[in-house]
Amino acid sequence: MAYLAGHPGPALGAASLTLIDAVGGYAVAASLAILGLAIYELGGLGEPVVESFREVLHSVTPVAWSLALLILLGFSSRAVPILVSGLSAFPPLMTSLIEGLKASRARFGDLAAALRLRGVRRMAYIDLPASVPYFISGSRSAIGVALIVSPVAEAFGTAGGIGYGLYLFFQLHDYAAFVAWSLLLVLVMIVIDAAALGPLERWSRRWME
């Protein structure tokens, strides 16, 4: 902590970049998850397609995503950590949304049938609002994954961020700075979870009650 206190500028800059990468990755994951929910809602082949896509993304490691995207986009691209964290954060978020969809079907199935709501209309008016607590709970996990994964991509070739700092300090054998940057990542995760994600999840559960 003394190292971080003595170098507040680089620490804040690195934390800000990693947070931007993680939030951008979460936005990618959330967009994919909502699209996946719409496809899942169609039934038929939609359900196995979404399940298979989720399992494939879940089975690919962040290192593999990082290497593939660095080759495709280049080592200077800021899109790499965003996409890597987004693809890694998608599976837990999609899992939560599917659980919410199944709970909504069990609870509001008769209502949807009475109103003759099907497909995307049912998702918009019933299933998506009913899945808000599941979405926020999944978002908590997804942002946690994004915050863990984005430094991995940063360490592989993106200049800036906590991951790049960890890689640089390890190469320089500056272990005090390496430990300090590791603590910085943990601190960012704790602050985000305690200040925003935890209260938001508790609010969403009270809202559904």
CATH number at residue 100: 1.10.3720.10
Count of the separate structural domains present in the chain: 1
> Which pTM was predicted?
0.85
- Token duo for residue 179: 């430990």
Question: Over pLDDT 70: what percentage of the chain?
Answer: 94
Answer yes or no: are the C-beta atoms of 153 and 66 closer than 8 Å.
yes
Task: List the one residue out of 142, 146, 168 whose CA is nearest residue 155.
Answer: 168
Give me the domain span that covers residue 88: 2-208
Q: pLDDT tens across 105-161, in order?
A: 888 878 877 888 777 778 778 888 888 888 888 888 899 899 999 988 888 877 778
Answer yes or no: are the C-beta atoms of 26 and 140 closer than 8 Å.
no
**The total number of residues written for the chain in this structure:** 209
Q: pLDDT tens across 11-51, in order?
A: 788 888 889 999 999 999 999 998 998 888 777 788 889 99
Residue 169 is inside which H or E element, if any? Answer: helix 162-171
**Any residues with CB less than 8 A from the CB of 149 and at least 6 apart, and which?**
25, 62, 84, 85, 88, 89
In the block, tokens 């995503």 appear at 65
